[in-house]
Amino acid sequence: MSRAHLIAIIDDDAALRVALQELLAVLDFECRTFADAAAFLLERRPGEYACVISDLNMPGMDGLALVQHLHTVEPALPVILISAQVDPAIRARALRAGAIAYLGKPIDDAVLHRHLVAALNRRR
């Protein structure tokens, strides 16, 4: 995979941000990490990111609100939500709001990779 694909990782859990960043580096993705949605939105420029991976439950703007906001301002930007919460109703809400995937923690590396590749292929 080309390093031209910039991925945003948004999670209030620093250890998970580092783990995802290291995993994506091994998979040859470039990424930037953010502790919350507000920090990401302050830095984000339209078209800069190829995909967003965000936690569902975070202080301030949660992942679902982030998906809804991004779907309005940059509808082509794919968002993968991750959560320790595996409630089917919440998963359905996230997908209806525009998330392309809703993955439970702990995250299966192969499943995440498959969703990232699909998201990037869809953006081309």
Residue 3 has pLDDT above 60, yes or no: no
Distance of alpha carbon 30 from alpha carbon 93, whole angstroms? 29
| Residue 68 DSSP symbol | H
Residue 79 has pLDDT above 90, yes or no: yes
Share of the chain above pLDDT 90, in %: 88
pLDDT classification of 1: cutoffs 50, 70, 90: very low
As beta bridge partners, residue 7 has 31, 51
Distance of alpha carbon 21 from alpha carbon 43, whole angstroms? 18
Are 65 and 37 within 8 A, CB to CB? Answer: yes
| DSSP string across 15-70 | HHHHHHHHHHHHTT-EEEEESSHHHHHHH--TT--SEEEEESS-SSS-HHHHHHHH
As beta bridge partners, residue 55 has 82
Distance of alpha carbon 58 from alpha carbon 111, whole angstroms? 23
pLDDT classification of 5: cutoffs 50, 70, 90: confident
> Which of 1.25.60.10, 1.25.40.10, 3.40.50.1370, 3.40.50.2300 would CATH assign to domain 6-123?
3.40.50.2300
Query: Where are the domains positioned within the chain?
Result: 6-123
13-72 pLDDT, tens digit each:
999 999 999 999 999 999 999 999 999 999 999 999 999 999 999 999 999 999 999 999
pLDDT classification of 4: cutoffs 50, 70, 90: low
What global pTM score does this model have?
0.94
